[in-house]
Structure 1
Amino acid sequence: MPTSIPLGAPIWADTNSPDVAADLEFYTRLFNWASFDSGEQFGHYTELCLGTTVSVARAVAGISQNPPGEPGMPAGWGVSFHVDDCVQAAADAEKLGGTIISHPMRVGEDLVYAAMRDPDGGAFGLFEPLSDHVGFTAFDEPGAIVWCEYVYDGAPVEAMQFYAELLNWSVRLPDAEDPPRDAPYVALWTHETNVEFGGGRMALGPELDMKPHWVVCFGTDTVELTVSKAVDLGGSVVVAPMEDPGGRMAVLASPTGAHFSVMSSRERANAA
């Protein structure tokens, strides 16, 4: 196995953008990331990392320009999950009611990838690593992804059954002693390694007008300072800082409109 990331867990996240230069300026300054362009061969896909040089860089996420035929595609973050056979996983997803957006394809010598939609219309990726140079090398710390959450206008336990069957997840309802939530919620765990990596919840407020979607959440030491910095850099606040059972969090949008969350890693750790 070329990676220590458990099967079924998030292994990568990236965002498309109609203006990569503007979004790169925003994200790199907001999270103190370095960016590394993969070159013309790979469509100038850019890796975002903690660390300033290739020798010490730890991968957090990626960003790509909108496809030439869809320059006006809305910006948005997506999540890909670790599978050991992308071709088989894509076929299994179809049998379970999912849809293939782009068929499994090999990307250089590093990975096989397929873009998918679940039965409710939520987009996600299937990612088969072929080397130890791909996937997250920074996770669950300030500046890196700490959580992935599925937002759905309905009972989340029902929406997550597709993923549970496809990716061998455990979907767990809150215990009676858990803090109350504003909407029905389930926790998501890898089955074999018993790692909790995210959750699914019912949509609230403005989210009811959105399609089902995955939200990526980046860690920060102080939510309020990150929110203020994001606004100064041209981003906007979608949901103001608030207390959540998992920690203090807020929802932001990049200058091109891609939604993402920030959460205080320290508070999240204390709450766990």
Structure 2
Amino acid sequence: MPTSIPLGAPIWADAVTPDLAGDVDFYMRLFNWAAFDSGEQFGHYTELCLGSTVAEARAVGGIAEAASGAKGSAWGVAFHVGDCVRAAAEAEKLGAQITSNPIRVGDDLVYAALKDPDGGAFGLFEPLSEKVGFTARNEPGAIVWFEYVYDGAPVEAMQFYAELLNWSLHAPDGSEPGHDAPYVGLRTREGHALTRSEEFGGARMALGPELDMTPHWTVCFGTASVDLTAAKAVDLGGAVAVAPVDDPGGRMAVLASPTGAYFTVMSPRE
């Protein structure tokens, strides 16, 4: 295996944007990231990393320019599979829609884009090289959590992913902090240090304005201070979609880039 990230776990997150230069600058300044442009051959796809030099760089995610005419921007998540072609075919049998057939990207990976049976976008990612995938997780400035937001019973929406990616679903018991809406934890069956005690995210019922949105995955980044990061995002031209608030896992806020890509920042409960 070219990566130690467990099969079925999130292996990559990236954003598409109509303003690549502007958004790269926004994220670099917000999270103190370094950016590495892959060049014209790959459409200037840019890797975002912790660390200021190539030798120090630890990958957090990526960002790409949206197709001509596309509006707005968004973050997405891709899951680790052993065979992208087979996994995409299986996803289609389970009711998903393939929006971009599996394609090999250089010598590094095979990738397919899909929509789940409820319309939520996600990717399937088969690594071919040890150079790809997250090399930073669960720390300030890196991915700490993924959340699926759905106008319905989360456990029902997650059955598709559980069958496709061999997840186990964890319903909170009475000893755990309460949630404002029905919730289910998401776990791979293959543990590793890059997962969060084998639990990498959750799915919950949509609330308030989210009821008007299609089902979607939310990418969550760690920060030492949610409040300071939210204020800095506004100063850099972004926006606060959900003001900082305490939740069962700590403190969080939903922010938006200058081009409208939503993402979450989180800090653990002290």
- Secondary structure at the aligned position of 2:159 is classed as helix
Overall identity of the aligned pairs, in %: 73
Which among 213, 216, 220 is matched to residue 217 of structure 1? 220
**1:245 partnered with 2:259:** no
CA distance in 1, matches of 2:50, 2:185: 28
Shift, 1:4, TM fit: 0.9
Give structure 2 stretches of 5+ with no counterpart: 192-196
Question: In the alignment, what sits opposite 1:195?
Answer: 198
AA at the equivalent of 2:47: E
1:53-102, Cα deviation, whole Å (9 max, x unpaired): 1111000010000113xx33320000000000000000000010001000
Shift, 1:246, TM fit: 1.1
CA distance in 1, matches of 2:67, 2:106: 19
Question: In the alignment, what sits opposite 1:76?
Answer: 74
Question: In the alignment, what sits opposite 1:256?
Answer: 259
Shift, 1:141, TM fit: 0.5
Where do residues 105-116 of structure 1 align in structure 2 (5 Å cutoff)? Answer: 105-116=103-114
1:204-262, Cα deviation, whole Å (9 max, x unpaired): 00000000000000000011010111110011000000011111000000000000000
CA distance in 1, matches of 2:235, 2:72: 22
Give structure 1 stretches of 5+ with no counterpart: none
Question: In the alignment, what sits opposite 2:34?
Answer: 34
- Secondary structure at the aligned position of 2:21 is classed as helix
Question: In the alignment, what sits opposite 2:51?
Answer: 51
TM-score, reference length from structure 2? 0.97
TM-score, reference length from structure 1? 0.96
CA distance in 2, matches of 1:176, 1:160: 21
AA at the equivalent of 1:202: M
AA at the equivalent of 2:253: A
**1:101 partnered with 2:104:** no
Question: In the alignment, what sits opposite 2:64?
Answer: 64
AA at the equivalent of 1:165: E
AA at the equivalent of 2:9: A
- Secondary structure at the aligned position of 1:239 is classed as strand
CA distance in 2, matches of 1:187, 1:133: 29
- Secondary structure at the aligned position of 2:24 is classed as helix
CA distance in 2, matches of 1:192, 1:16: 30
- Secondary structure at the aligned position of 1:15 is classed as strand
**1:134 partnered with 2:124:** no
- Secondary structure at the aligned position of 1:257 is classed as coil
